[in-house]
Amino acid sequence: MKHLVIKHKFFYAAAVCVAATGIFASFGFAKGTPSLTEGCRSAYLMDADSGECIYKLNEYSRAPIASVCKVMTLTLCLDAVEDGAVSLDDVVTVSKNAAGMGGSQVFLEAGSSYPLSQLVKSIVVCSANDSCVAVAEKISGSEEQFVAEMNKKAGELGLRDTLFSNCTGLPKDTQYSCAADVAVMFANLIKHRQYFDFSRIWLEDFEHGNGRVTSMTNTNKLVRRYNGCDGGKTGFTNEAGFCLASTAERENLRLVSAVLGADTSEHRFKSASNLFDYGFANYKNKIVLDKTITLNDEFVLSGGKKDSYPVMPADNCYLFTKKKQDCDVTFEVYDDRVHAPVKKGQVVGRIDVFKDGVLYRTVDVVSAEDVNKASFADRFKRIADGWSL
């Protein structure tokens, strides 16, 4: 129930754009500006936080995406870790099926055991197919069941032009995606901060435990070439061409790009770099709620040692904007009127952030301190203080 609404309003130099509701705005410039992509069939650039689209080229054109499908493989793995179904410290015994995968691999030995963290790292860094199948079998029991979960997750993310048939991206007629869907699924993957523990690695040895070592080199060259790039997933087959999903961050603005069907490896990296250059040059994220700063308004508290208490946003809220344009930002703060005791960090309300009158983001409000329940002595003192007036 909404007990108290406190409205705030201020004017901010920003773009007039659509709220993040799953429908992506293109900000009106020509679809597929040729100068931003070279030799690519399709591309997409978006703000990772809000999901708003900056650039699109044949964004819903279905095509094979090769090893970029491992974005979903990694998503299910890190989801399982976050849910507590598995731990990165778990030991995975490799089946003959997993060890027999072709293509890019770290040459796992059938019957040998490896920490799950090492297998995930090899997928992120060097796109190891054998590790993908080993992880799939660990989490779901079989690759077939794991693929069913991949497609279920695609549905949950609203990916209407994506279908998975395996967890590796090896050629299969019934497997496809599109640039827009790839960008969305990659933006979802990088919400797992653990992903970045692996994605920034450039060169590392994979140890097999018997003295044998396989050298891993990051397939995403932008990790070294592009300022701010700290993650990505490459893919290549003759059918898919050269593909890349990648992310870069500068000054609180994190962008996600997808480049599919490039004619050369260099063109996929150059196109992604061009997209990032355009995004950083023309857009920015302005922080409008800081989770380290208390709000001006204190919330009322019943039955506590204090009558009110300070509150703050549970998370930062950034406003994705085009530079040098204007928009109107308003806040509505909802006090749930909780009863004492209150613990620091406890959710006690919410803030609705509106951009040009449209709901842009909802952020929880939490208590900034502990407030104990009033004792009998505290209540008696308040009564006595009232009499003295």
Say what the pLDDT of residue 8 is: 54
Are 254 and 352 in a shared domain?
no
pLDDT tops 60 at residue 1: no
Are 348 and 223 in a shared domain?
no
What is the value of pTM for the model shown?
Answer: 0.85
Taking all residues of the chain, what is their mean pLDDT, rounded to a whole number? 89
Give the 3-state secondary structure of residue 48. coil
Q: Report the pLDDT averaged over residues 149-159.
A: 98
Q: How confident is the model at residue 29 (pLDDT cuts 50, 70, 90)?
A: very low
Are 62 and 113 in a shared domain?
yes
Residues 6+ apart with CB under 8 A from 144: none
Are 213 and 137 in a shared domain?
yes
Q: pLDDT digits over 257-285, tens only?
A: 999 999 999 999 999 999 999 999 999 99
Q: Report the pLDDT averaged over residues 35-58.
A: 94
pLDDT tops 70 at residue 72: yes
CATH number for the domain including 341? 2.60.410.10
Are 123 and 176 in a shared domain?
yes
Q: Report the pLDDT averaged over residues 180-186.
A: 98
Q: pLDDT digits over 298-322, tens only?
A: 999 988 888 899 999 999 999 999 9
* Annotated catalytic residue within 56, 70, 322, 355: 70
Say what the pLDDT of residue 375 is: 67
Are 51 and 13 in a shared domain?
no
In a domain, 22, yes or no: no
As given in the structure block, the two tokens for residue 162 are 């994506």
pLDDT tops 80 at residue 106: yes
* Annotated catalytic residue within 42, 50, 56, 67: 67
Q: How confident is the model at residue 27 (pLDDT cuts 50, 70, 90)?
A: very low
Number of domains the chain is built from: 2
Catalytic residue status for 26: no
Say what the pLDDT of residue 297 is: 86
In a domain, 304, yes or no: yes
Are 305 and 378 in a shared domain?
yes
Backbone angles phi, psi at 151, to 5 degrees: -70, -35
* Annotated catalytic residue within 104, 122, 127, 246: 127
Q: How confident is the model at residue 381 (pLDDT cuts 50, 70, 90)?
A: low
Q: Which residues, in sequence order, are bridge partners of residue 354?
A: 330, 359
Q: Which of 238, 266, 282 is the last residue of a domain?
A: 282
CA distances from 256 to 51, 275, 304 (A): 9, 9, 46
Number of other CB atoms surrounding residue 332 within 10 Å: 17
Q: Higher pLDDT residue, 361 or 102?
A: 361
Catalytic residue status for 70: yes
Q: Report the pLDDT averaged over residues 74-85.
A: 98
Q: Which of 282, 310, 338 is the last residue of a domain?
A: 282
Q: Name the residue range of residue 358's domain.
A: 4-17+290-388
In a domain, 23, yes or no: no
CATH number for the domain including 274? 3.40.710.10
Are 121 and 178 in a shared domain?
yes
In a domain, 25, yes or no: no
Say what the pLDDT of residue 350 is: 96
pLDDT tops 60 at residue 28: no
Q: Report the pLDDT averaged over residues 140-153.
A: 98
Are 271 and 298 in a shared domain?
no
* Full DSSP string of 53-114: EEEEESTT--B--GGGGHHHHHHHHHHHHHHTSS-TT-EEEPPHHHHT--SS---PPTT-EE
Which bin fits 344, alpha (ψ -120 to 50), beta or left (φ > 0)?
beta
In a domain, 27, yes or no: no
Are 307 and 217 in a shared domain?
no
Q: How confident is the model at residue 345 (pLDDT cuts 50, 70, 90)?
A: very high
In a domain, 171, yes or no: yes
Say what the pLDDT of residue 232 is: 98
Q: pLDDT digits over 119-145, tens only?
A: 999 999 999 999 999 999 999 999 999
As given in the structure block, the two tokens for residue 237 are 């087959």
pLDDT tops 90 at residue 102: no
pLDDT tops 70 at residue 4: no
In a domain, 369, yes or no: yes
In a domain, 318, yes or no: yes
Are 264 and 120 in a shared domain?
yes
Q: Which of 282, 315, 336 is the last residue of a domain?
A: 282
What percent of the chain clears pLDDT 70, i.e. is strictly above it? 87
As given in the structure block, the two tokens for residue 365 are 């409000």
Are 132 and 260 in a shared domain?
yes
Say what the pLDDT of residue 5 is: 53
